[in-house]
């Protein structure tokens, strides 16, 4: 489980593709403190650590299935995972950790596209377009996870919604590099998912 509070910015340093994708991500987490099998959210995608650095440089490696690649921004044409790509990172929650934002699973539901960006003082207002089948799960003043960052929804109109990025969020994440038409990983609020399921089921 994750909170959507980014704790590090990683950099993709190696990618191999042998059916599934294996990615090496340089980070500031001490490699010795990363357990094999641990879960780390990489741009909001929950991935399992399969190897880690034992030298001076801190890094970890993850295997990514074809299913995950197809549902996320990993293979996005304009801003997919390539060498040098920066990623928002968050280690999984432990008992006793502060729950500073909303709870997320790291299971990406789909991708959203940045439609517009407007600077308002020190903040930036972004508007996203989402697939029609996910739009119904997004509500004004609700929460979404975008590239692993927990954000509050300002407004919703049909299949678009807006959020506001404060300067601190931009400086501590990869959002300062965002551009119009970028694709981002979207995870809807878990509560919205279950409420929708309950309303769909006939008893």
* DSSP classification of residue 106: S
Taking every pair of Cα atoms in the chain, the longest distance, rounded to a whole number of angstroms, is 59
The three-state secondary structure class of 61 is: strand
Give 11's contacts (C-beta < 8 A, 6+ positions apart).
25, 26, 27, 84, 85, 86, 87
Nearest-angstrom CA–CA distance, 174 and 165 = 12
The three-state secondary structure class of 171 is: helix
Nearest-angstrom CA–CA distance, 180 and 86 = 17
Q: Could you tell me if 128 and 112 are in contact, meaning their C-beta atoms sit under 8 angstroms apart? A: yes
What is the set of domains in the chain, with CATH numbers? Answer: 8-91 (2.40.30.20), 110-200 (2.40.30.20)
The pTM score is: 0.90
Average per-residue pLDDT for the chain: 90
Q: Could you tell me if 7 and 174 are in contact, meaning their C-beta atoms sit under 8 angstroms apart? A: no
Q: Could you tell me if 69 and 76 are in contact, meaning their C-beta atoms sit under 8 angstroms apart? A: no
In sequence order, the β-bridge partners of residue 134 are none
Output the pLDDT for position 1.
75
Residue 169 clears pLDDT 80, i.e. is over it: yes
38-96, pLDDT tens digit by residue? 999 999 999 999 999 987 789 999 999 999 999 999 999 889 999 999 999 999 866 55
Higher-confidence residue of 203 and 108: namely 108
Output the pLDDT for position 69.
94
Mean pLDDT calculated for residue range 143-163: 95
Residue 202 clears pLDDT 60, i.e. is over it: no
136-151, pLDDT tens digit by residue? 999 999 899 999 999 9
């Amino acid at each position: 489980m994750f909170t959507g509070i980014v704790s590090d910015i990683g950099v993709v340093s190696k990618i191999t593709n042998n059916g599934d994708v294996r990615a090496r991500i340089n980070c500031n987490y001490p490699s010795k403190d990363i357990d094999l099998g641990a879960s780390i959210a990489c741009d909001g995608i929950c991935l399992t650590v399969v190897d880690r650095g034992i030298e001076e440089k801190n890094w970890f490696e993850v295997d990514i299935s074809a299913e995950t690649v197809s549902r996320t921004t990993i293979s996005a044409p304009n801003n997919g995972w390539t060498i040098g790509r920066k990623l928002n990172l968050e280690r999984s929650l432990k008992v006793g950790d502060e729950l500073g934002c909303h709870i997320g699973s790291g299971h990406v539901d789909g991708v959203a596209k940045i439609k517009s960006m407007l600077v308002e003082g020190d903040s930036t207002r972004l508007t996203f377009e989402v697939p029609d089948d996910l739009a119904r799960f997004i509500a004004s003043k609700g929460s979404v996870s975008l590239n692993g960052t927990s954000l509050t929804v300002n407004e919703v109109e049909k299949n678009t919604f807006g959020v506001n990025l404060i300067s601190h969020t931009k400086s501590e994440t990869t959002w300062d590099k965002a551009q119009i038409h970028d694709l981002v990983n979207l995870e809807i609020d878990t509560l919205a998912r279950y409420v929708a399921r309950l309303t769909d089921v006939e008893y």
